[in-house]
A and B are shown apart, each in its own frame.
Chain A
Amino acid sequence: MLVLTRRLHEAIQIGGEIEIIVLSIQGDQVKLGINAPKHVDIHRKEIYLAIQAENSEASLASKTVLHELQSHLKKLERGENE
């Protein structure tokens, strides 16, 4: 990993199009500004990882359980209509 030390208001340029600026530092919190092209997705890492994990889990749904869920929902609907 490349490690760079930056001060307040200093920036890092990544390639031609991505810039990261240190906007403020307060205690153990650093506020970063990021300029990047629109096609680049930027996320807080832990949130991205959570979505990734959720997608992986969701992809495992078996046909059987989905069918059970289906019939349960139908029962609920019928129940509501009665």
Chain B
Amino acid sequence: MKLRTKYHGEVEVNGTDIFYFSNGIPGFLDEKQFVLLPIEDTPFIILQSVKTPVLGFAMIDPFLYFPDYDIELDEQTIERLELSSERDVAVYVILTVADPFENTTANLQAPIVVNRAKKLGKQVILTNTPYRTKHRLFPEKAGAK
């Protein structure tokens, strides 16, 4: 099927590429279908809504940029995503791309967790965690150059 997207123009996707988010995501509860579209040559993966072409979230692999990032999925999430093997899990975090881009932050408190095999997804809100919604991607500059 052809899909109109926020960052990739019109793309061809298979029905089997569509991830189902049964509860939507906070703020976008009616958005239940997304595809993951990597932007070539970049670390970005776009969480693109199937229903709404202009709705896409830039995500990254948190473990690349925050090597100490460590999360534990609760039983409810594991059950909801029908996760039976660690191999099937992928974790992403949504970027809030700021203008200027140096102030871009990553939401480590609410990662997007997907079951790659069963194509199920959920934005998991971590509890009892030190992670917050805004972690800077670039450390703050100590002084002007």
Contact = CB atoms under 8 A, between A and B. Distances in A.
- Note whether A and B form a binding pair: yes
Interface of A: 38-39, 41, 43-44, 47-48, 50-59, 61-63, 65-66, 68-70, 72-74
Contact of B109 (A51, A57, A68, A72): A51
A47 B58 CA distance: 21
A51 B39 contact: no
A44 B127 CA distance: 9
Contacts of A63: 6-7
Interface of B: 6-7, 22-23, 25-28, 39, 41-44, 55-58, 76, 79-80, 94-102, 104, 107, 109-110, 123, 125, 127, 133-134
12 contacts: A38-B79, A41-B125, A54-B110, A55-B123, A58-B58, A59-B55, A59-B56, A61-B97, A63-B6, A66-B58, A69-B101, A70-B44
Contacts of B109: 47, 50-51
B39 A70 contact: yes
Contacts of B79: 38
A52 B55 contact: no
Given A38-B80, A39-B23, A59-B57, A51 B99 contact: no
